[in-house]
Structure 1
Amino acid sequence: MLLSKAWASFEADKRIEGFSPQTLKAYLLQSLLLIDYFKDVEMELLDTNKLKEYLAKSGKHLKPASLAHRIRFMKSFFRWSHEEGYLSKKPTSKIKEPKVGKRIPKYLTEREIEHLRESCHSPMEKAIFEFMFSTGCRIGEVVALEKNHINWSNQSAIVRGKGDKEREVYFNTRCDIWLKRYIESRNDHNSAIFVIARQPHKMSVAQMRYIIKRISNRAEINKEIHPHQLRHSYATHLLNNGAPIEVIQSLMGHEKSETTKIYAQLSGRLRKEYYQKYF
């Protein structure tokens, strides 16, 4: 089977399995790079040595984490192709991922959060910022939010996270106020919570990233700010205030507790309290 045809079938299968649009988009890029390098050849012509050569050449300037992502895609793609009967062997079975050190997430201090908060000018900016910080949602989860996903009486929302899994998240009173003010200020009937004002339609991830960037530029914080830092800051805030790891894991929608435990490394205040308590 040709690489392009195998990819089309693989993508369709993973879409049915509930892979997120973000994951499928990342996989599409990897498939295009693979096809660009080998051209649209028959899959049986690709053996372990050829795939290793591809990784060695294409991965020269990649960070270990990016190379590991490329290898994970290839392993998934070629394993699926073998299971479907398109390949007699799995050419990626002996290819190993590079060792990637655990990166401590970058988070914002309480002072930086306040600077960002003060730099939100419109009800829309305030609503986006407060929702992202008080729920810890991923940006993809925020842009997908619909009005009927909100439970106002419970100050909660149902979001769809990785693997198409739903979870309930909660927001505080400040967020509740700005969400309502923002929605009341709109004249459209679009079902999305966050929309682009001109010809109102659901906001994209790129558009929301731009809004966060615009807010951070006004705040003049001397570091690069990206939306995921609000999620990291949410987790750190919970940890610093004594929330158990299991609770944070559930609220953030982490599948593995190891992902959540990374935050314990950066919570200096809490570690100092434990030291003073137990030493």
Structure 2
Amino acid sequence: MTPETPSSPVAHLTVHTPLMPAILTWEIYLKDQGRSPHTIKAFMGDLNLLASFLPPDRTLGSITTQDLNHFLQWLEKGRGIPCSPKSLARRITSIKAFFRWLQRSGVLLNDPALRVIQQSVISPLPEVLTPEEVEAVLEVARNWRSRSKPDARPYTLVKLLLETAIKKSECLAITRNHIDPEGKEGPVLYVRYASPSNRYKERNLPLSEEWIEAYQEYLAQYQPADQIFPWSPRRLEYILEDLSEAAGLAKHLSFDMCRWTSALMDWKNGMEGDQIRQKLGVSKIQWREISMKLRQLAEQES
């Protein structure tokens, strides 16, 4: 890997630089790369913990694999604050990403985090809707379209989530030009990202004619200027919760539940794994855990 150029943020770092200035430089680098504020905040919190554990005069070149392992042991057993397996795994990821960046940038010759053992944590299986619950929710939403004061918004929202498996953030980012009702191969939703670092998540997702019909009703009723769902995330979550309550479900319908339900329906319908992965907009590494969970969910329902 070619070291960073002299004009880059890392150019002033050496093996003799203390840890804290390097952490602050990494924060600048992450922002320049367009990483999400949530990711940066998590990385900084994890690295600040490491800085508080090590002596303040410890330089980058003097940090060893043993230092990092002692730090992780302290997090687990010596800090006095519970550290869940998931939090520990994330902190190991943060450490590895930071020292890998230093090594690849030419600041360090050797990466002390390379031999730190990564701990993978499999989170619990997500809650999904059964086919009967999906139909119950859609039936309620259809009925609301034909009430004395018709409302196509709930159906437009939940049907879109169940068809496309998009995330909450992606749903909130949809604008009118992201939907093409007359695509060459049928109606399509274009999922787009402003940040170059997220371009791999961009994709085109087919939409049903049934959804387009409800969407046209929705546009006539609400007339959104640009953003399709111009409400707060919490307001849209309330709409999903209202649907689940009206459908008599014991479950609390959510964006995440719709996403997993959509993926599971595709899995059970025989869609090829890589097609589901691309539809979800996830990496091949992320797909390993997701596919395992989909397989388990499908087995539970069989």
TM over 0.5: yes
- Cα distance in 2 for partners of 1:43, 1:127 equals 56
1:6 is matched by which residue type in structure 2?
Answer: A
Matches within 5 A, 1:256-267: 256=284, 258-259=288-289, 261-262=291-292, 263-267=294-298
Matches within 5 A, 1:210-225: 210-225=238-253
2:192 is matched by which residue type in structure 1?
Answer: R
**Does residue 1:136 correspond to 2:154, yes or no?**
no
Larger radius of gyration: 2
In structure 2, stretches of 5+ residues that fail to align are: 1-16, 145-150
In structure 1, stretches of 5+ residues that fail to align are: 197-202, 273-279
- Cα distance in 1 for partners of 2:97, 2:256 equals 26
Matched-pair contact (CA < 8 Å) for 2:244–2:251: no
TM-score where L is the length of structure 2: 0.70
Q: How many residues align?
A: 260
SS of the residue corresponding to residue 158 of structure 1 reads strand
1:150 to partner: Cα distance: 1.0
Q: Deviations over 1:98-136 (max 9, x none)?
A: 243475443210122233335555433322211111111
Matched-pair contact (CA < 8 Å) for 1:136–1:234: yes
1:76 to partner: Cα distance: 0.6
- Cα distance in 2 for partners of 1:214, 1:43 equals 56
| Aligned counterpart, 2:198 | 163
1:267 is matched by which residue type in structure 2?
Answer: A
Q: Deviations over 1:205-233 (max 9, x none)?
A: x5544543454344442235432221111
| Aligned counterpart, 1:240 | 268
Q: Deviations over 1:218-265 (max 9, x none)?
A: 444223543222111112212222323233233223332635632234
1:135 is matched by which residue type in structure 2?
Answer: T
Pair 236,188 (structure 1): closer, same or farther in 2 beyond 3 Å: closer
Return the match for 2:174 from 127, 138, 145.
145
| Aligned counterpart, 2:212 | 176
Pair 9,173 (structure 1): closer, same or farther in 2 beyond 3 Å: farther
2:229 is matched by which residue type in structure 1?
Answer: F
Q: Deviations over 1:54-92 (max 9, x none)?
A: 433445634433322221122111211233344454332
Which protein, 1 or 2, shows the higher relative CO under an 8 Å CA cutoff with sep ≥ 6? 1
1:50 to partner: Cα distance: 4.0
- Cα distance in 2 for partners of 1:226, 1:58 equals 33
Pair 269,65 (structure 1): closer, same or farther in 2 beyond 3 Å: closer
Matched-pair contact (CA < 8 Å) for 2:122–2:289: no
| Aligned counterpart, 1:6 | 22
1:264 is matched by which residue type in structure 2?
Answer: R
| Aligned counterpart, 1:76 | 97
- Cα distance in 2 for partners of 1:26, 1:86 equals 23
| Aligned counterpart, 1:30 | 43
Matches within 5 A, 1:54-93: 54-59=71-76, 61-87=82-108, 89-93=110-114
1:269 to partner: Cα distance: 9.1
- Cα distance in 1 for partners of 2:69, 2:235 equals 38
